[in-house]
Amino acid sequence: MPGPPRRHVGQYVASGDWSDYWTTRISRAESGKIRVRGYPIEELIEHLSYGESAFLLLRGELPDEREAALFDLALRSGMDQQFISSAACAARFTASAFPDSPIPALASGILASGSVTGSPQEPAEMLIEAAGWGLPDEQAASRAVDAWLERRSAVPGLGHPMHKEAEPRAVTLRRLALARDGWREHGRLLDAIEAELARRKGRAIPINLAGALGALLADLGFDPLAIGGIGALSYGMALLAHIVEEVREGVPLRIIPDALGAHYAGPAERSLPADRRRGRR
């Protein structure tokens, strides 16, 4: 997604002009006054919902009614899925070792939100790239499947370790997005990619939540970088719920004993050779 020309520190060192080195279009703070994207913050606090405020921060303009409803749908669709998430487990491990504050555990959970744990960023990148080819959906889907199977032997946004027939969150998000005219170019491409992969594999590999979120947010015009962040932040409340439960009701300093699946697969017990022992060299 094109943006402003990239700057580099060398141009500032060479020119000696640092006047625009720290520049932002997001907000302006002065004595007794704060404006966010040009709007007085008092008005935003009084009149906007959380989702509308977040949309304004990220996109720079207020959402219309359709956009606000679809963005709110994206923010609430993740909820939680017990321990079927490396992010929740990472957060709980950290909370069990550092119960003094939820912040380190929240950071751990966010840091565990990536392409393998279900970030919508990679599906969005795939769909935006495929849409840019200007091909009919079926041709673009075939080309996208070829490209991603070659890149990493998997197509992002499809498949789930537990939900083999259909991912309930993705199904619901897609249904509600369709009803709100939010499943547009990128959503249709994802449908075509799902059908193409099923044709090749001879079995259904359903759209997962990351794929559905990537399509919906790409259709809303978000940058893939923002989409990845939205995916992590939308799961943040679930992480906080896990953290509070872990600290109040969990097990301090969680471990993984053999009884819970720890398995050693290294060499059998052995001793250092005599010539490697101190005092005998």
Q: What is the pLDDT of residue 54?
A: 97
In this structure, how many other beta carbons lie within 10 angstroms of the beta carbon of residue 258? 8
| pLDDT(131) > 90 | yes
Q: What is the pLDDT of residue 230?
A: 95
Angle of helix 121-131 relative to helix 224-234, nearest 10 degrees? Answer: 150
CA 218 – CA 184 distance, rounded (Å): 9
Could you tell me the residue ranges of all domains in the chain? 82-254
Q: What is the pLDDT of residue 2?
A: 59
Q: What is the pLDDT of residue 3?
A: 66
- Which of 62-76, 107-121, 140-154, 168-182 bottoms out in mean pLDDT, i.e. has the lowest? 107-121
Mark out the alpha helices in 132-167 (DSSP H runs).
137-152
Task: Determine what percent of the chain is predicted with pLDDT higher than 90.
Answer: 81
Superfamily of domain 82-254 in the CATH hierarchy:
Cytochrome P450-Terp, domain 2 (1.10.230.10)
Scan for tokens 């993740």, then name that residue: 78
Global pTM?
Answer: 0.89
Average pLDDT, integer, range 212-221? 98
CA 32 – CA 28 distance, rounded (Å): 11
pLDDT bucket at 82, cuts 50 / 70 / 90:
confident
CA 213 – CA 202 distance, rounded (Å): 25
**5 vs 218 pLDDT, higher one:** 218
Q: Return the percent helix, strand and coil in the chain, to nearest 5.
A: 55, 5, 40
Q: What is the pLDDT of residue 162?
A: 78
Average pLDDT, integer, range 1-29? 87
pLDDT bucket at 280, cuts 50 / 70 / 90:
low
Q: What is the pLDDT of residue 43?
A: 98
In this structure, how many other beta carbons lie within 10 angstroms of the beta carbon of residue 122? 24
| pLDDT(85) > 90 | no
Note the pLDDT tens digit of each residue in 223-266: 999 999 999 999 999 999 999 999 999 889 999 999 999 999 99
The CA-atom distances, in angstroms, between 38 and each of 19, 30, 71, 74, 180 are: 21, 13, 21, 26, 29
| pLDDT(147) > 90 | yes
Q: What is the pLDDT of residue 109?
A: 93
Q: What is the pLDDT of residue 228?
A: 95
CA angle 99, 239, 54 (to 5 degrees): 125
Average pLDDT, integer, range 117-132? 93
Q: How far is CA 109 from the centre of its chain?
A: 11
Note the pLDDT tens digit of each residue in 148-191: 999 988 999 998 877 878 889 999 999 999 999 999 999 999 99
